[in-house]
Structures are given as C-alpha cells and as structure tokens.
Amino acid sequence: MGALFFISGNDDYLIKEHALKQIIVLCGEPPEANPALEIIRGDNDSESPSSVIIRLMDSISTFSLFSSKKIIWVKHFNRLEEALDEPSTKSKPSPVDRLANFLKDGIPDDTTIVWDTVGIDRRKTFFKVIQQVCN
C-alpha cells in the first residue's frame, strides 16, 4: 500500500517547513529535479478547491511516466475547509467525499502523497479517513 503524509496545524510557516523537509527526505535536493515528484499547487487562487481535489484523484489514478514510483505533493492547500463545505449527496458526492472513498480503497503501492494544509476540523469525517490512511 502507498503512503500518505498529511501535515496540518495552525502555524502556516511550520507546516510549510515540515512539508518541505518531508519532500526532501523523499526526493532529495533539489526536490523539483526528481522525476517521480508531481506538485499540485494548492495555493493557486485561480483554481477552485474542488479542482485541486479532482487533480489529486486524477494524479493518484494515473501511472508515472518518468519513474517507477510517484510522489505527489499537494502543496500549501489552505482551502480544504472550503472544499469540505461543498454540498454532497449519495447520488452526487462532492469531490472531497469521492476522495475519501478513493483513499479508503487504498493508495497504490508505488504512490506517496504529501499534503500540507492549515487547519482542519478534526470532527469531520474526512479527517477521520485521513487518520486511518496516514503513515
């Protein structure tokens, strides 16, 4: 089974520093030179929170073209609470609910996800799923 490192808290600077350290452990320096690394920018204001979640699911479900393993960094995604607030039903689940179900099924063996975000309500179902999946 693959790995998920979900880095969250209240101090934005420390979260970013810890995420970068984890990426360097996984990719070496400079991390961007590692062909296994795919960065999904979470701090791009021109993109909706849902589209970031959808890009993550797409990335998890595709094979790496340049390496035998895949490292996905959801970098500085500070709009997770906004994504969690989107309406969801059984007939039309929100992207976050679809991601939660996707993660419950297991991350592919060759895939590692590093996700950093500020704050998350620990009472939400999504956080409980993350706790079950995290390394």
pLDDT in tens, 90-130: 888 889 888 988 888 888 889 999 999 987 777 788 888 88
Q: Give CA–CA dist 81/121, Å, rounded.
A: 8
| Whole-model pTM over 0.85 | yes
* Average pLDDT of every residue of the chain: 89
Q: What is the mean pLDDT of residues 35-41?
A: 94
3-state SS of the chain? Answer: CCEEEEEEECCHHHHHHHHHHHHHHHHCCCHHHCCCEEEEECCCCCCCHHHHHHHHHHHHHCCCCCCCCEEEEEECCCCHHHHHCCCCCCCCCCHHHHHHHHHHCCCCCCEEEEEEEECCCCCCHHHHHHHHHCC
Q: What is the mean pLDDT of residues 25-51?
A: 92
What's residue 122's pLDDT?
77
Neighbours of 12 (CB within 10 A): 14
Q: Give CA–CA dist 17/26, Å, rounded.
A: 14
Query: Percent of the chain having pLDDT more than 90?
Result: 47
Q: What is the mean pLDDT of residues 10-32?
A: 95
In sequence order, the 6+-apart residues with CB closer than 8 A to the CB of 38 are 59, 64, 70, 71, 72, 73
